[in-house]
Chain A
Amino acid sequence: MFQDIYTIWLREMVKFVRARSRIVSSLAMPFIWLFILGFGFSSSITIPGLPYIGFLAPGIIGMIILFTSVFSGISVIYDRQFGFLKEILVAPVSRSSIVLGKTFGGATIGTINGLIVLGISSILGFTGFGIGTFLAISFMILIAISFVAMGLIIASRMKSMEGFQMIMSFLVMPIFLLSGALFPLSNVPDAMRVISYLDPLSYGIDGIRGSLVGITNTGLVIDFLVLFGIAVGLISVGTLMFKKSTQL
């Protein structure tokens, strides 16, 4: 079981390290967001007791983890299209191991990307390091796991990458924008706040922000418990859907 999970995780890592140009291009976007929004809004948005970059950085960390993780999960579609999934499916390995290997692989990549963005934001003036960093990392891991699992669920229903743009527009972008990554949720209209509370990423970003700069909306304990529950739930559903989609 562990050996199988490790094997599938290892493949994700080898491919991640090999695709260096992809890493650079995927990190260019959060850098641009941090740079332009950070400086652009810093004078017009005031958050009590915090420069805007301090508020924004945890949001952008959440963003990069969201994007890379969903993509990691959906990449099973590529495995299916290029046939490699068959090689995995015909091996004497349980479907759960495959899902866990894929999830942890994608989650590792997502978390590494999150840490890189944390590094970038410190260059741009973000100061919020300390014991909280470790707590923030655990939130990053939970965000990553949840959204890789969500990607796997999408991949088990979607047969080609053609629908990817639609997933980006109608699922991933709203999740990002409603999560309180760019602005505080405390001042938004009630209806919007309700939707935001249904957004798993809200708890993740609130958790990272709380751990790093001490500003939180829902409180770290609730953030952690809710996100943990969501991660476990999505992995379970993901495993079921994956099993169903590969049963012939």
Chain B
Amino acid sequence: MSAIKIKDLTKKFGKFTAVDCINLEIKEGELFGLLGPNGAGKSTTLNMLATMMTPTSGSAMVNNMEISNQDSVRRSIGMVFQDPSLDDELTGKENLEFHGRMYHMQKNLRAKRIDEVLELVGLGDKAKFQIKTYSGGMKRRLEIARGLMHHPKILFLDEPTLGLDPQTRRGIWDYIQKLNKDEGLTIILTTHYMEEADYLCDRIAIIDHGKIIALDTPEMMKNEMGGDILKLETREPENLIKILTFDWIKQKNLFEGYLNVTVEDGGASIPNILNIASKAGIKIDSVQMIRPSLEDVFIHYTGRTIREQEADTADQMKKMMNQWGRK
């Protein structure tokens, strides 16, 4: 069963195409990531799926309902926005209470569910405090709790850890993973942090300039890159390069006195290479294994690092925001 089915989805703001004819299917129970630089079209895609924006063209099914079916779709999803969306003057509990009422939850169910979700994100003891006393991480956790209040089938998280310190981010990751693994919730998140997508997601779609340019598991994406790189330190690299002529060595080159060989399975290849070298009487002083990162994957597909990309899209973002402001 698919939780999300997107067909030719497009969103234009004036002349700027934020989302360009995207096709995508996300399975139930998946933890799916939309990865890309700021302004790539991730949030716009998410907002269209959450029925906050109407697509310029194309269609999408969320929990087997067309997104034009606003109210039904909304009832079946939870949304955590990129920017804070809590009422600072209300307490944590009052914010959840408001949410429960807006989703027509009965009083008893509301009270029970508030306790449950607060427990889930570890904020039970803070429920009676006003939001303005919360830290950034606590606000994020409460927003996640709020998104879960009405038992949604899919939870959308727009940049869930943006602006949080590393330790808090780790905590949020744990909650997200717990929700997905223990409760079987389908989670779709956007992020421009490589390590976040890598650590959390079952599958990733890399989005750039409104288009999906790669779609796979993080592992497969990294394998696409040709596997692991072994950085070998030896006094006679020229001799070593001559004897390492096997099918499983995909690439080898000398770089700054080190011999870099690319192999599919780095861990299993290290003892092999050490054996071969010692039989030939070549001493290897050190071995370093480098796994390709998603950053490498991103460079591979776009020819640029994600940071260069962001500087580039900043202008387009500004244009888009102006368009928003004028509406």
Could you tell me which A residues sit within 8 Å of B by CB distance? 3-4, 6-7, 10-11, 14-15, 18-19, 82-93, 159, 244-245, 247-248
Count of inter-chain pairs, beta carbons less than 8 A: 73
Of all chain A residues, the one with the shortest Cβ separation from B100 is A7
Query: With A19-B89, A83-B84 given, is the CB distance from A248 to B53 under 8 Å?
Result: yes
Specify which chain B residues have a CB less than 8 angstroms from the CB of A7 in the assembled complex: 98, 101-102
**Least Cβ distance of A93 to chain B in Å?**
6
Of A19, A85, A93, A244, chain B has the most CB atoms within 10 Å of the CB of A93
Which 9 A-B pairs give the minimum distances between C-beta atoms? A83-B85, A91-B102, A92-B74, A7-B101, A92-B71, A248-B53, A87-B85, A86-B85, A84-B87
From B50, B52, B104, B327, contact of A3 by CB (8 A): B104
**In the complex, chain A residues whose CB is within 8 Å of the CB of B47:** 248
Q: A7-B102, A86-B81, A87-B146 are in contact. List 17 more A-B contacts (CB 8 A).
A: A15-B87, A82-B84, A82-B88, A83-B86, A85-B85, A87-B81, A87-B86, A88-B102, A90-B52, A90-B74, A90-B81, A91-B74, A92-B70, A92-B71, A92-B74, A247-B327, A248-B327
Q: Are A92 and B101 in contact (CB under 8 A)?
A: no
Q: In this complex, what residue of B is CB-closest to A160? A: B325
Interchain residue pairs with CB less than 8 A apart (16): A6-B101, A7-B98, A10-B98, A11-B87, A11-B90, A83-B85, A83-B86, A84-B86, A86-B52, A86-B85, A87-B85, A87-B146, A90-B79, A91-B99, A92-B70, A92-B75
Cβ–Cβ < 8 Å partners of B79 in chain A: 90
Q: Kindly list chain B residues whose C-beta atoms are within 8 Å of the C-beta of A18.
A: 89
B83 at the interface (CB under 8 A from A): yes
- Which residues of chain A have C-beta atoms less than 8 A from B99's C-beta? 87, 91
State whether A248 and B74 are in contact (beta carbons under 8 Å apart), knowing that A3-B101, A84-B85, A91-B102 are contacts in the complex. no
**Majority DSSP secondary structure for residues of A touching B:** helix
Tell me which residues across on chain A come within 8 A of B104, comparing CB atoms. Answer: 3
Question: Would you call B85 and A248 a contact (CB within 8 A)?
Answer: no
Q: Does B63 contact A (CB under 8 A)?
A: no
The smallest beta-carbon distance between B84 and chain A, in angstroms, is 5
* Bound CA–CA A90/B48 (angstroms): 11
Contacts of A83 in B (CB 8 A): 81, 83-86
Contact B53 A14 (CB under 8 A): no
Could you tell me the distance between the alpha carbons of A85 and B47 in the complex, rounded to whole angstroms? 14
* A90 close to B83 (CB less than 8 A): no
| Distance, CA A247 to CA B86, complexed state (A) | 21
B246 interface residue (CB < 8 Å to A): no
Does B28 count as interface, using CB distance less than 8 angstroms? Answer: no
- Max chain B Cβ within 10 angstroms of own Cβ: one of A14, A86, A90: A90
Across the interface, name the chain B residue whose C-beta is closest to A244.
B327
In the assembled complex, the Cα of A245 lies from the Cα of B50 at a distance in Å of 18
Please measure, in the bound complex, the distance between the C-alpha atom of A19 and the C-alpha atom of B90, giving whole angstroms: 11
Taken together as a complex, chains A and B put the C-alpha atoms of A84 and B71 apart, in Å, by 19
Interface centre among A4, A11, A92, A93 (most CB of B within 10 A): A92
B103 near A245 with CB under 8 A, answer: no
Once the chains are docked, how many angstroms separate the CA of A11 from the CA of B95? 9
Give the complex CA separation of A4 and B54 in angstroms: 23
> Chain B residue with minimal CB distance to A97?
B102
B310 within 8 A of A: no
Whether B52 lies near A14 (C-beta < 8 A) is no
Q: Which of A11, A19, A86, A244 contacts B98 (CB 8 A)?
A: A11
In the docked arrangement, what's the CA distance between A4 and B327, Å? Answer: 26
Output the least CB separation between A17 and chain B (Å).
11
Q: How far is the CA of A4 from the CA of B102 in the complex (A)?
A: 6
Of all chain A residues, which has the CB nearest B104? A3
B255 located at the interface, meaning its Cβ lies under 8 Å from any Cβ of chain A in the complex = no
Residues of A within 8 A of B54 (CB): 247-248
Within 8 A of A (CB), among B74-119: 74-75, 79, 81, 83-90, 94, 98-99, 101-104
Closest CB in chain B relative to A71 CB, distance in Å: 15
Is the C-beta of B324 less than 8 angstroms from some C-beta in chain A?
A: yes
Chain A residues with Cβ below 8 Å from B53 are: 248
CA distance A90 to B54 in the complex (A): 13
A89: chain B residues at CB < 8 Å are 52
**Contact assessment for B84 and A14 in the assembled complex, using a CB-CB cutoff below 8 Å:** no
- Chain A residues positioned under 8 Å from B146 (CB to CB): 87
A91 CA / B89 CA spacing, docked (Å): 20
